[in-house]
Amino acid sequence: MQIATWNINSVKAHMDVALAWLKEAKPDVVCLQEIKCETDAFPKAAFEELGYNAAVFGQKTYNGVAILSRSPLSDVRRGLPGDDSDGQARYIEAVIPWKAGVLRVASIYLPNGNPPGSEKFTYKLAWMDRLAAHAADLLRLEEPLVLCGDYNVIPMPGDARNPEAWTVDALYQPESRAKLRGLVNLGLTDAVRLLAGEAPGLYTFWDYQAGAWQKDNGIRIDHHLLSPQAADRLKTVRIDRHVRGWERPSDHVPVAITLA
């Protein structure tokens, strides 16, 4: 069972690379972020031609998340609980049949939060509190659970090529990193670090600007967090960094894990 996460940075603008990568990687489940379209405008038919069902939670212009799955999706939850006034489409969750039971998967687009000290930063931290509360509820189900997506948090210095350049950024603030640790400490496992250890140079995002890709000036902000029941079945992790070198790419690359 291969489960990938990918911030596609507009599904319409990057449909060519999306389809090319699906044909190459053949994942079973793909969590997409920043689809940047309304739910009804999601190009479902093109994905269905490749054998995928789609659950979508979009909005106009910004944000938007989706889950593609070869197997049927059920129990779809759109939106993160805890604030009925939150109109931003950043969370979708679904259940997928797996082996004798089920796998629960969430596609997460955590707020960027820049600049620190702003209302956006307050929203980011509050959103992280809501995610932790919901994750605690899900963990009580004792299911295989994969919470994956663009977390917009650099967990450790080794997750950036130039960590000192990020010290004034919301992605690397002590508060952001502490809240991510709090989430993990509920009993979740960072899949890439479980298998790759402290290996350096594992990045998932390179800015479009200033030749960041050419200089390998990247950061690791797209993560798979696993419940114990999922972590026990983790076999492989893969960062498809070559996709960043394709023509008109997203600024993020797909990250995939396999469970067995």
Site mask for DNA (CB under 7 A), range 230-249, x = bound? ------------------x-
Nearest residue (CB) to DNA, 12 versus 99: 12
Tell me the one-letter amino acid at 260: A
Site mask for DNA (CB under 7 A), range 40-79, x = bound? --------------------xxx-----------------
Tell me the one-letter amino acid at 154: I
| Structure tokens belonging to residue 236 | 């492989």
Binding status of residue 36 toward DNA by CB under 7 A: yes
Binding status of residue 153 toward DNA by CB under 7 A: no
Binding status of residue 140 toward DNA by CB under 7 A: no
| Residue from 2, 9, 71, 217 binding DNA (CB under 7 A) | 9
| Residue from 27, 111, 144, 254 binding DNA (CB under 7 A) | 111
Question: Can you name the residues that pair with 32 across neighbouring β-strands?
Answer: 6, 66
Pair type for strands 145-150 and 101-109: parallel
* Relative orientation angle of helices 174-184 and 119-139, to the nearest 10 degrees: 10
Task: Name the minimum Å distance from CB 121 to DNA.
Answer: 10
- Closest by CA to 157, choosing from 169, 170, 168, 166, is 166
| Residue from 39, 53, 114, 217 binding DNA (CB under 7 A) | 114
DSSP state of 71: S
State how far the Cα of 52 lies from the Cα of 249, in Å rounded to an integer.
22
Contact 148, 108 (CB under 8 A): yes
Binding status of residue 224 toward DNA by CB under 7 A: no
Site mask for DNA (CB under 7 A), range 180-199, x = bound? --------------------
The beta strand positions in 99-209, using DSSP E, are: 101-109, 145-150, 189-190, 205-206
* Residues with Cβ within 8 Å of residue 169, at least 6 apart in sequence: 114, 116
Task: Name the minimum Å distance from CB 114 to DNA.
Answer: 4
CA 220 to chain centre: 11
| Residue from 146, 219, 234, 237 binding DNA (CB under 7 A) | 219
Task: Name the minimum Å distance from CB 141 to DNA.
Answer: 29
Task: Name the minimum Å distance from CB 130 to DNA.
Answer: 16
| Residue from 16, 168, 208, 215 binding DNA (CB under 7 A) | 208
* Residues with Cβ within 8 Å of residue 161, at least 6 apart in sequence: 201, 203, 215, 216, 217, 218, 219
Q: Helix, strand or coil for residue 49? A: helix
State how far the Cα of 124 lies from the Cα of 45, in Å rounded to an integer.
33
Binding status of residue 85 toward DNA by CB under 7 A: no
| Residue from 107, 152, 176, 227 binding DNA (CB under 7 A) | 152
Task: Name the minimum Å distance from CB 60 to DNA.
Answer: 5
Binding site for DNA (CB under 7 A): 7, 9-10, 12-14, 34, 36-37, 60-62, 111-112, 114, 120, 150, 152, 169, 171, 205, 207-210, 219, 221, 248, 251
